[in-house]
Amino acid sequence: MNEFSLKYGCNPNQKPARIFMADGSELPIEVLNGRPGYINFLDAFNSWQLVKEIKEATGCVAATSFKHVSPTSAAIGKVLPEKLKKACFVDDVEGLDDSPVACAYARARGTDRMSSFGDWIALSDECDEVTAKIISREVSDGIIAPAYSEKALEILKAKRKGTYNVVKIDPAYVPEETERKQVFGITFEQGRNNFKINRELLSNVVTKNKNLPDDKAIDMIIALITLKYTQSNSVCFAMDGQAIGVGAGQQSRIHCTRLAASKADLWQLRQSEKVLGLPFKDGVGRPDKNNVIDLYLSDVDSADVLAEGAWQKYFTVRPEPFTRAEKDKFLAGISGVTLASDAFFPFSDNIEKAAKSGVSYVVEPGGSVRDDLVIEAADNHNMVMCFTGMRLFHH
């Protein structure tokens, strides 16, 4: 098959629509279930490249949760600590610790659940039964992976009344070196971005503190590869083998940093005892729990969910508010976070903002006329900063 017809393009009025191989060769995919759409395939092919490259760069199983052609998170298959399992709503999943691919997806999906609602999933390795069980209970559009176990495929085919999109990709497929697209009837052509992101790329440490442990280098690599497939401008916060906050598609880099920092802070706060101990009633679903937690962690001392007459719907007893002062104190104890940027930081305000979210490691291309001020700001916070010399714009 060298062509696959689509119901429509980006929007229902954009017809006809299809994906096809211009050279007449076979498509490197097989649709095992459902009927993926135009945006589904954009997510699928971008997300597959992301997890494939993380696997190649780290040697670890990888997963990502994609939404509207940008990752909400990406992660490698590290076993989740108990607090993180609970924060990601997977503390009840049997066999999780024994499945690296399930751990990777649990991390990716659980990082930014608001953005991941209705996601597209990519796995670097075979989808197993444990991973399929996690996917089966989440709101999701589809998945791409190089293989599926028999039981996993059975579970996924039953999702969404049998219409869930399941795509199998040939892991050996290598695209042409030149890529093209049309905008307004005009064809754009460029060489593929085959730039390799690895440990060697992090050798130019420009700060006084040059201590870059291997696990933090892996966080940098994951963050950079995540940015390589995120709509620019973009920055990414990472920690413990996963992206914990992605700020995508902003015109201003400080706005990217603020957006990503707010997501990273929420990821941290969701693992606090105050949130993990919220007295939810039995029967409150994961999407509702997530929305309530988001309100509970909003930037007011008493979130709307705690208003008189509202809390009874979700809680057995009224929880104590999580005050701004309490949240600030909790976040002040965070350190070891990595910040990556797809282009240079033009001002030191990005570093100052990142420091408030526990950033200790920074990686960016460098090349700004104010690099000296950015480095000085990093030195003031005893951060380790690497310059890669390579921009990672993605459009």
- pTM to 2 decimals? 0.96
For residue 60, the SS3 value is coil
At 313, list the tokens.
Answer: 């719907």
How do the pLDDT tens digits run along the chain, 395 residues long?
789 999 999 999 999 999 999 999 999 999 999 999 999 999 999 999 999 999 999 999 999 999 999 999 999 999 999 999 999 999 999 999 999 999 999 999 999 999 999 999 999 999 999 999 999 999 999 999 999 999 999 999 999 999 999 999 999 999 999 999 999 999 999 999 999 999 999 999 999 999 999 999 999 999 999 999 999 999 999 999 999 999 999 999 999 999 999 999 999 999 999 999 999 999 999 999 998 899 888 865 555 666 666 788 899 998 888 888 999 999 999 999 999 999 999 999 999 999 999 999 999 999 999 999 999 999 999 999 999 999 999 99
- As a whole number of Å, the CA-based R_g of the chain is 21
Give the SS3 label for residue 386. Answer: strand
Domains 3-174 and 197-269+331-387 share a fold: yes
Report the side by side order of strands in the sheet with 337-341.
29-33, 165-169, 140-145, 119-123, 62-67, 70-76, 242-248, 234-239, 337-341, 359-364, 384-387
The label of the residue with tokens 């005892």 reads 273
Q: Is 3 helix (H, G, I), strand (E, B) or coil?
A: strand
Q: Which pLDDT value is given to residue 95?
A: 97
Task: Please tell me whether residue 192 adopts helix, strand or coil conformation.
Answer: coil
Q: Which residues are catalytic?
A: 67-68, 233, 395
Does residue 233 have a cis peptide bond before it, meaning omega lies within 30 degrees of 0? yes
Token pair of 328 as six digits: 């600030």
Class of CATH domain 3-174: alpha beta
**Segments making up each domain of the chain, as ranges:** 3-174, 197-269+331-387, 278-321
CA-based nearest residue to 91, from 78, 104, 106, 77? 106
Q: Which of the listed CATH numbers 3.40.140.20, 3.40.640.10, 2.102.10.10, 3.30.70.1530 matches domain 197-269+331-387?
A: 3.40.140.20
Encoded tokens for 316: 């057995």
Task: Give CA angle at 46 (120, 13), nearest 5°.
Answer: 70
Beta bridge partners of 359: 337
